[in-house]
Amino acid sequence: MAVLSILEFPDPRLRTKAAAVDPARVTQPEFQRLLDDMFETMYECPGIGLAASQVDVHQRFMVIDVSEEKNQPMVFINPEILARDGEQVYQEGCLSVPGIFADVTRANAITVKAVGRDGQPFELSTDGLLAVCIQHEMDHLEGKLFVDYLSPLKREMVRKKLAKQRRQSA
């Protein structure tokens, strides 16, 4: 297992649109190892989700664990949202935009279809934090970040704040 390094805003690689995963690859050891490494990276941070795009793997999958006990790992490969309902506002953060938090409005409830780590398709209807996290991770796969929902002025302030944080920790 290995902790992978996470790309940070405004790295242009975070803007890459991820390509579909060949479902036949899912059960191969190489892909399973990548999933394990992504969980290890996410738990170490700690975070509640991690999209492959954030570790410079531009394929459509993500790992999530929103449980308190960190014992409910979930894998979504080639995810698609089949239905959405209502709205919720949640104060989001992102491992690729460290130290920045902002309110984002998203669907309250979603039904998502994906392939699991066993290679089998499944459907899940959920709401609340898990629904927020799934939508946040699916944005990463499209090259989109939560700061894109802010005004251009606020996004520029975020970029400057991160640049300053990096200068001070260098």
Write down the catalytic residue from 69, 137, 142, 156.
137
- CB closer to ligand GNR out of 8 and 119: 8
Task: Give which of 59, 40, 58, 38 is closest to 50, Cα–Cα.
Answer: 38
Token pair in block for residue 111: 């039904």
- CB closer to ligand GNR out of 22 and 101: 101
CA distances from 75 to 49, 51, 102, 151, 165 (A): 10, 10, 26, 32, 32
Interaction between residue 138 and Ni ion (CB under 5 A):
no
Interaction between residue 37 and ligand GNR (CB under 6 A):
no
Q: In this chain, which of 133, 134, 138, 147 binds ligand GNR, going by CB under 6 A? A: 133
To the query of whether residue 92 is one of the catalytic residues in this protein, the response is no
CA distances from 127 to 25, 66, 79 (A): 30, 12, 16
Q: List the single partner that 50 binds among ligand GNR, Ni ion, none, CB under 5 to 8 Å by kind.
A: ligand GNR
Interaction between residue 51 and ligand GNR (CB under 6 A):
yes
Could you tell me if 98 and 168 are in contact, meaning their C-beta atoms sit under 8 angstroms apart?
no
Interaction between residue 100 and Ni ion (CB under 5 A):
no
Rounded Cα distance between 133 and 137, Å, is 6
Q: In this chain, which of 92, 100, 106, 110 binds ligand GNR, going by CB under 6 A? A: 92
Rounded Cα distance between 163 and 10, Å, is 10
Residues making contact with ligand GNR (CB under 6 A): 47-51, 54, 90, 92-96, 132-133, 136-137, 140
